[in-house]
Amino acid sequence: MEFLNTSLNIVRESGEMLIDGIKSSFNVDRKESKFDLVTEWDKKIESFITEKIQDAFPNHKIIGEESIYSEGSQSFEELLRSEPHLWVLDPIDGTNNYIHRLPGYTISLAMISYGEIKLGIIYNPDNDEMFCAEYGKGAFLNGERLHVSDRSVLAESMLATGFPADVDVDRKAVLNQINELGPLCRNIRVFGSAALHCAYVAAGRLEAYWEPGLNIWDIAAGALIVQEANGSVSEMDGSPFILDFKSFMCGNGVMDNVIIHHLNKVASKEMG
Ligand code: IPD
Ligand code: CA
Ligand code: CA
Ligand code: CA
């Protein structure tokens, strides 16, 4: 509880900074490709949360999306599995929304202990929605208990996916998946924040979300929040979710198998 209360306060304060930041003009830099961008606010929030967590818990480690590549020689996988208290941060999930002053950017913070996700927070500062979960204790939105939806018919299901930075491989695959599932479901949304999609699955607003090519900081908090809201998480082909996942899928536990069936159908067509 101490971990949760402290980190909730830090994330809330960071959210206020983001609300101020989006009203200002800010620098945007390119990372790996012209679609992979970082703003000065991604870096500011990452430094702010890193310092606050280190002050509050001096024995804990924290890694964030914008500093991950300077993590010495130990492999990222090893770090995730070997640390007793490892905080994993996405300072802005939905940087492109932030750059375009669109709603749908979140702060996502998780705490992983020896490879197991113990705590997750996703904050949408725009509408002050704070999603959180602790392992085994349920998931909450602004203090109210969350539960995934019980919709069990694809035609009544609202789905979500995302277009990753890798245009040539992942975005084309996602278009094929939308082509398959689009005509069968109520509709498909692409809000532009993996964490927000997970939070909405947990809140019963979406029946499922899938996306290839994500990173652990995008969905560590979301995976726990969905599971604690009685939803399920897996790879897109239905195999169990592991920390070095290749793709991500979460759902209300009822629609998952149907959606996985269609995703697998698309994948086998792509393989010829
Ligand atoms: C991105 C967002 C987006 C998803 C991308 C992610 P970022 O994270 O979650 O929704 O489609 O795959 O990289 O770069 O805004 O933190
Ligand atoms: Ca990014
Ligand atoms: Ca992200
Ligand atoms: Ca980010």
**pLDDT of 271:** 85
Instruction: Please give the angle made by the CA atoms of 94, 82 and 219, to the nearest 5 degrees.
Output: 20
Percent of all residues in the chain with a pLDDT value above 70, rounded to a whole number: 97
d(CA 160, CA 74): 35
Check if 46 has its Cβ closer than 6 Å to any atom of ligand 1: no
**pLDDT of 220:** 98
d(CA 92, CA 193): 9
Is residue 259's pLDDT more than 90?
yes
Q: 212: closest CA among 186, 184, 175? A: 175
Same fold, 2-145 and 154-270: no
Is residue 32's pLDDT more than 90?
no
Q: Are 48 and 17 in contact (CB under 8 A)?
A: yes
Is residue 69's pLDDT more than 60?
no
Q: Are 232 and 66 in contact (CB under 8 A)?
A: no
Helical ranges in the chain per DSSP H = 2-22, 40-56, 76-82, 95-99, 172-181, 194-202, 216-228, 256-270
Residues contacting 127, CB < 8 A, separation 6+: 103
Check if 163 has its Cβ closer than 6 Å to any atom of ligand 1: yes
Q: Which fold has domain 154-270?
A: D-Maltodextrin-Binding Protein; domain 2 (3.40.190)
Tens digit of each residue's pLDDT (9 = 90 or more) over 141-192? 999 999 999 999 999 999 999 998 877 778 999 999 999 999 999 999 999 9
d(CA 200, CA 8): 19
> What Rg, from alpha-carbon coordinates, does the chain have?
18
Pocket test for ligand 1, best of 39, 42, 177, 214 (most atoms within 8 A of CB): 214
Please state, as a whole number, how many other Cβ atoms lie within 10 Å of the Cβ of residue 50: 19
Check if 62 has its Cβ closer than 6 Å to any atom of ligand 1: no
Token pair in block for residue 22: 């989006």
Domain ranges of the chain: 2-145, 154-270
Check if 95 has its Cβ closer than 6 Å to any atom of ligand 1: yes
**pLDDT of 71:** 47
Side chain identity at residue 167, one-letter code: V
| H or E segment to which residue 109 belongs | strand 106-113
Q: How confident is the model at residue 17 (pLDDT cuts 50, 70, 90)?
A: very high
CA neighbours within 13 Å on the CB side: how many for 96?
Answer: 13
CATH of 2-145, one of 1.10.10.350, 3.40.50.2300, 3.30.540.10, 3.40.50.150: 3.30.540.10
Give ion ligand 3 contacts, CB < 5 A. 90, 93, 218
Place of tokens 């070997």: 82
Place of tokens 């924040």: 193
Pocket test for ligand 1, best of 29, 65, 93 (most atoms within 8 A of CB): 93
Token pair in block for residue 17: 């900074």
| H or E segment to which residue 64 belongs | strand 61-64
